[in-house]
Structure 1
Amino acid sequence: MSGAQTFDTIVIGGGVFGMSSAFELARRGQRVAVIDRFGSGHEVTSSTGASRSIRVAYDHPFYVNLALEAIAGWHDLEARSGHKILHLTGQIDLGPAAKLAALADHVRAAGVEIAALDADGVRALFPEMHLLPHEGALYHAHAGTVLAEVGLMVLAQAAAEAGATILAPERVTALAPDGAGVRVDTGKRELRADRIVMAAGPWSGALLSRAGLDLPLAPAVAQVTFLDAPDLTERPGLAEWQAVGKDGADGGLYGHPVPGIGYKIAFDAGQAGWDSEVTSWSPDFVEERRLLDWFHARFPDVPAKVARTQRHPWTMTPDADFIVDEAGGDWGRRLILACGCSGHAFKFGPALGRLVADVAEGGAAPELLRRDRPGLLVQATATAPITR
């Protein structure tokens, strides 16, 4: 093992949470190292894949404003790199009246237009979509698709250009306080820094447990299907929210266009059974069939031709909100938490980096994302749906 390398911040995890944090910290003048077990975008990581949805339709003002910040941040990265990252075609939201009303109220409060649609209005925007007689819908234009593979590549390039050192593939084997700072071992090298940012996705829980901090994180395996549907690449994204019963959410579905492929569709809940040592995930064809049955009912005149189906992990918290905060306790601000994606983090990439960097530099964590909030006092469920 070589002699210890010294940094201001060591970021563990090179997905969207970690890489956006590394970029933001590096451009603020910090010496940053990023360590990733597989390398950014690897197929078994949470940030893998061609695309993610993006929207500002949230039923909480924090996320509406964070999404607006993220869209501006992605546009800045587009200008910096010359790569197209956003494909904004709008989004149609379907679901219970109370959910749609909450979405509309918070989006309008942020000064963003969102329109209520009937069947004719939906047909004008998405002619192939079938609406049931009793269904209502919303539409807003600040939504669509993040070309995730491109976005993560651009973030990694921007972080490196800002001076970040990226170490991958490399696995963290130990982390510990070290005087006023921290020490991280990988088996290949020893690193020291003032602090660690824990952004290791579904591996975060085990690494934090080794550090003496147990959080209610539940990794799950999610599945998405890309349809070979070139006629849908300019159509809006879709969120079909389901009613929440007394025993919890029934779950919903979502989709968005993917240039060069067609349309991506998925259920909004993952499955249990994530394995930290798996190096690839095979599709669940029973789930794929269920998804295609839904697609046929919602889009009866569109052939459901599968381009590919893939699985990847995400990590649920009990309340489906992220965790961005200092660890506290013996670690204090030497360990910054950036985890609990809950299936809806990627879209916020550049804005997440700003949140993490602010906390790392002494700022207060957002109330909604604090590690000691009431929503984290119960155990998370891996199979819980995305409710944000």
Structure 2
Amino acid sequence: MPMTYDVAIVGAGIFGLSTAYELARRGHSVLAIDRFGSGHPATSSTGASRSIRIAYDHPFYVELALEAIESWRRLEAETGQTILHLTGQVDLGPQSKLEELTRTVRAAGAAIEEMDAAELRRRFPEIALSRGEIGLFQRQAGTVIANAGMAALLRAAKKAGVTYLAPERVVRFEPGATVTLYTEGRHFEAKQVIVAAGPWAKDLLDGVGLPLPLAPAVAQVTFLDAPALVDRPGIAEWRPNGETGIYGHPVPGIGYKIAFDSGAAGWHPDVEEWEPDPAEEQRLLGWLARRMPSVVPKVSRTQRHPWTMTPDVDFIVDRWGQFIVAGGCSGHAFKFGPALGRLVADIVEGGEAPSVTRLGRPALRQSAPSPTAPITR
């Protein structure tokens, strides 16, 4: 007879691994299963870095980001691993967007400054600004060294007692007094199951009667060989009317990462590594030539990975019977790291999901968005 775990987690990316660690710390028996393995190139939590920022236009995300910085720092202290590289961030874009970010951040008691072109250039000398352009600067922002963060979480989770299995693919669930999880060669039982399987979650949830409007997309990021930018702030250039923006941040040991705030169609569940799109890379380097004309466009590497869009670009973290859904990352989840684990673990233990992440919210009654929809949070 298989052991019955308190909680089984399907997917050991940032959502699943941080939750496994938090639940084990709280004394639960935890099984974490991943189809490829944490940080694999096919997954949403792959790669060298992610941005981190506190400037959001919704208080839930501002508060979660502030918690995340503290949580990452605790993980650094526990594991001796450097994970955060906080150099600040410059936000540019329509005045209405900047005002909304400022209002929400300050309402949370955090600091954000409005700066004119001269002040912004002092912070980030390589930036070219148009006449009269202003922006924001937030100090609590910069970079999560993603591969280091994932490695630290995995070590901490195993040390806390998590049973970690990878590569192992869960193919279906059978609800009952406990939930049976079937992989391609064996089965396991758990009192509760967290589905944190990224773009693979939709098929698994469809199989238990929970259809969700999720749209897997393939995102692309480009790393610049630009060591002079390693201590510069990150950047977010928001565009009007929900158009695709651009973001970037420094990457220790590499230089700087830049990308569009939208993905492409064409995700397939069995593809393990995605070939870069040279045309998208050239469009991005065109933006770089206009926004940072003094930066030599020397590409270190370009890579692609999936993310999963929801209709409102908000996460899904909520209970459905014996299952807890933890996904719909919409391209902006990784930064929250261990704070996501706390959020999901609270729901496992009977807590109520925040309104912005609930399954019953109106946006989840809509059709799935286009995979190319931009990230507007």
Structure-1-length-normalised TM-score: 0.96
3-state DSSP of counterpart to 1:296: helix
Q: Deviations over 1:82-138 (max 9, x none)?
A: 010000000000000000000001111111111111110111000011011132100
Is 1:368 aligned to 2:356, yes or no? yes
3-state DSSP of counterpart to 1:281: coil
- In the alignment, is the contact (CA less than 8 A) between 1:175 and 1:185 conserved in 2? yes
- Partner of residue 208, structure 1: 205
Whole-angstrom distance in 1 between the partners of 2:298 and 2:160: 42
Whole-angstrom distance in 2 between the partners of 1:112 and 1:338: 27
3-state DSSP of counterpart to 2:170: coil
Which amino acid is the alignment partner of residue 219 of structure 1? P
3-state DSSP of counterpart to 1:41: coil
- In the alignment, is the contact (CA less than 8 A) between 2:194 and 2:326 conserved in 1? yes
Whole-angstrom distance in 1 between the partners of 2:174 and 2:344: 20
Whole-angstrom distance in 2 between the partners of 1:287 and 1:362: 45
- Partner of residue 238, structure 1: 235
From 100, 103, 116, the equivalent of 1:102 is 100
3-state DSSP of counterpart to 2:149: helix
In the TM superposition, residue 178 of structure 1 has moved relative to its aligned partner by 2.1
- In the alignment, is the contact (CA less than 8 A) between 1:227 and 1:308 conserved in 2? yes
Is 1:345 aligned to 2:340, yes or no? no
Whole-angstrom distance in 2 between the partners of 1:352 and 1:264: 24
Whole-angstrom distance in 1 between the partners of 2:317 and 2:276: 32
3-state DSSP of counterpart to 1:263: strand
Whole-angstrom distance in 2 between the partners of 1:355 and 1:175: 24
Which amino acid is the alignment partner of residue 17 of structure 1? F
From 232, 241, 250, the equivalent of 1:257 is 250
From 184, 191, 194, the equivalent of 2:191 is 194
Whole-angstrom distance in 2 between the partners of 1:21 and 1:196: 12
3-state DSSP of counterpart to 2:69: helix
In the TM superposition, residue 176 of structure 1 has moved relative to its aligned partner by 1.4
RMSD: 0.7
- Partner of residue 372, structure 2: 383
From 151, 154, 168, the equivalent of 1:153 is 151
Kindly tell me the number of residue pairs found equivalent between the two proteins. Answer: 376
3-state DSSP of counterpart to 1:173: strand
Whole-angstrom distance in 2 between the partners of 1:9 and 1:158: 17
Q: Note the residue ranges of structure 2 that are not aligned, 5 or more in a row.
A: none
- Partner of residue 35, structure 2: 37
3-state DSSP of counterpart to 1:356: helix
Whole-angstrom distance in 2 between the partners of 1:270 and 1:70: 25
Whole-angstrom distance in 1 between the partners of 2:358 and 2:316: 6
3-state DSSP of counterpart to 1:292: helix
3-state DSSP of counterpart to 1:349: helix
- Partner of residue 116, structure 1: 114
Q: Residues 289-328 of structure 1 correspond to what in structure 2 (within 5 A)?
A: 289-327=282-320
Whole-angstrom distance in 1 between the partners of 2:353 and 2:48: 31
- In the alignment, is the contact (CA less than 8 A) between 2:238 and 2:245 conserved in 1? yes
In the TM superposition, residue 187 of structure 1 has moved relative to its aligned partner by 2.4
In the TM superposition, residue 381 of structure 1 has moved relative to its aligned partner by 2.0
Which amino acid is the alignment partner of residue 60 of structure 2? F
- Partner of residue 49, structure 1: 47
Which amino acid is the alignment partner of residue 248 of structure 2? G
3-state DSSP of counterpart to 1:57: coil
Runs ≥4 residues deviating over 2 A? none
Identical-pair percentage: 60
Structure-2-length-normalised TM-score: 0.99
